[in-house]
C-alpha cells in the first residue's frame, strides 16, 4: 500500500511577489538578448545575400584573364569574401566553389533565426511570470507503508 502526499510549492505571497521580480529580471535579460540576436540575424542575412556580389567584385571569375598583381588582388579579395562569410555565419565555401549553394544558405541562417525565436519564447515566459501573482507547483511524494514483521 502506498500513501500519496501532495506538497504545494508556492512562489510568491501577498507581501512579496517573487514571480513578478523573477519575471521582470528575466524580461530585461531577454529584451537585451532579443536585440543582440536580431542584430546577428540581420547581419547574417546581409552577408549571405551579398556574398555573390562580393565574389563578382573580387574578380575571381575572370582569374585566367588577369595577370600579375591583379590576379593576386583577386585571390585576396575572394579570400576576404569567404572569410567574412565564415566569421559571421560559420558557413564555409570549399576552395573550388565560386558561389554559395542553397544548402549553405540554409545552414548559415538556421542558427541566428532559431536563437531569435528562443529568446522570443523566453520573453513570453517572462511576461507570464510578471503578470502572475503567485506560481503554485504541485509536487507529489509517494511513501510506502512498511508491513509489520511477524515473529516465528
Determine the average pLDDT of the residues in 28-38.
96
Instruction: Report the percent of the chain where pLDDT is more than 70.
Output: 79
32 band by pLDDT with thresholds 50, 70 and 90: very high
pLDDT of 27 above 90:
yes
> What is the rounded CA–CA span in Å between residue 30 and residue 140?
32
For the question of whether the overall pTM of this predicted structure is more than 0.85, the answer is no
Higher pLDDT, 137 or 43: 43
- Rounded CA-CA distance 88/83 in Å is 9
Q: What is the pLDDT of residues 52-66, one digit of tens each?
A: 888 888 877 776 777
The three cell numbers of residue 146 are 512498511
pLDDT at 12: 62
Residue 41: what pLDDT?
92
Say how far apart CA 115 and CA 42 lie, in whole Å. Answer: 12
Amino acid at each position: 500500500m502506498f500513501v500519496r502526499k501532495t506538497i504545494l510549492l508556492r512562489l510568491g505571497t501577498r507581501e512579496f511577489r517573487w514571480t513578478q521580480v523573477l519575471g521582470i529580471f528575466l524580461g530585461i535579460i531577454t529584451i537585451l538578448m532579443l536585440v543582440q540576436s536580431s542584430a546577428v540575424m540581420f547581419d547574417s542575412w546581409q552577408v549571405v545575400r551579398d556574398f555573390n556580389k562580393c565574389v563578382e567584385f573580387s574578380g575571381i571569375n575572370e582569374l585566367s584573364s588577369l595577370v600579375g598583381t591583379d590576379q593576386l588582388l583577386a585571390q585576396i579579395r575572394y579570400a576576404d569574401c569567404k572569410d567574412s562569410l565564415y566569421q559571421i555565419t560559420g558557413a564555409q565555401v570549399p576552395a573550388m566553389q565560386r558561389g554559395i549553394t542553397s544548402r549553405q544558405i540554409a545552414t548559415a541562417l538556421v542558427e541566428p533565426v532559431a536563437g531569435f525565436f528562443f529568446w522570443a519564447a523566453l520573453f513570453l515566459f517572462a511576461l507570464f511570470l510578471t503578470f502572475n501573482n503567485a506560481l503554485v507547483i504541485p509536487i507529489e511524494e509517494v511513501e510506502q507503508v512498511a508491513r509489520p514483521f511477524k515473529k516465528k
